[in-house]
Structure 1
């Protein structure tokens, strides 16, 4: 089954509870990208190249990103809860966008007004905004 992942993998799932299709992308945060020139972070380019957009239909749950445990540094940073990545959800019907920082192992809930991390406090709620108002 697509949602199954190995227990040693870090997986980001998106559960679209809305009524419209959404496109989801996971990307490195800008501050993290500044480290790209450092030899210690040479593996980032490989990791970025494996990140793609994923379509999630209404009322569907889908895996949007998996990082295997052999990516030791990323695995450790993600398992410590460091938020080095952004998740961006774009509604196809109107192009509105919601962007939040994300750990590498969690489930995001997409609702009509925005997105939030499953089990997280309300303060982690990110509202959909017009593309003209977003930082994309």
Structure 2
């Protein structure tokens, strides 16, 4: 019983131990002084997926890694790097999945084609059912 209680406490406390004790990076939660640069950084951050949350952009995520990615983007924008170069670097480092706009290639074409296929299949089913009703 005691072992089970210790295991349960460790399982419950594991998420608490996942955060680091280091302070957040300078631009993780702080905007750039130049409004034009911040606008470019914000636009890019909204198109990059949080690797921890997976359903949010790094602009919306409170995850520590998202904060690090925001700081990285803002630092590079402040240094004069173009947003598309930063996007390319992030995709090269983390893969196409990090972007909400995956490129159309041999691996991702089903993402673009399957909705059209499903829609056509649904329309075909509806048209067949309507034809059956007309016959009756």
TM-score of the aligned structures, taking structure 1 as reference length: 0.26
Higher RCO, 1 vs 2 (CA within 8 Å, ≥6 residues apart): 1
Larger radius of gyration: 2
Q: Which has the higher strand share?
A: 1
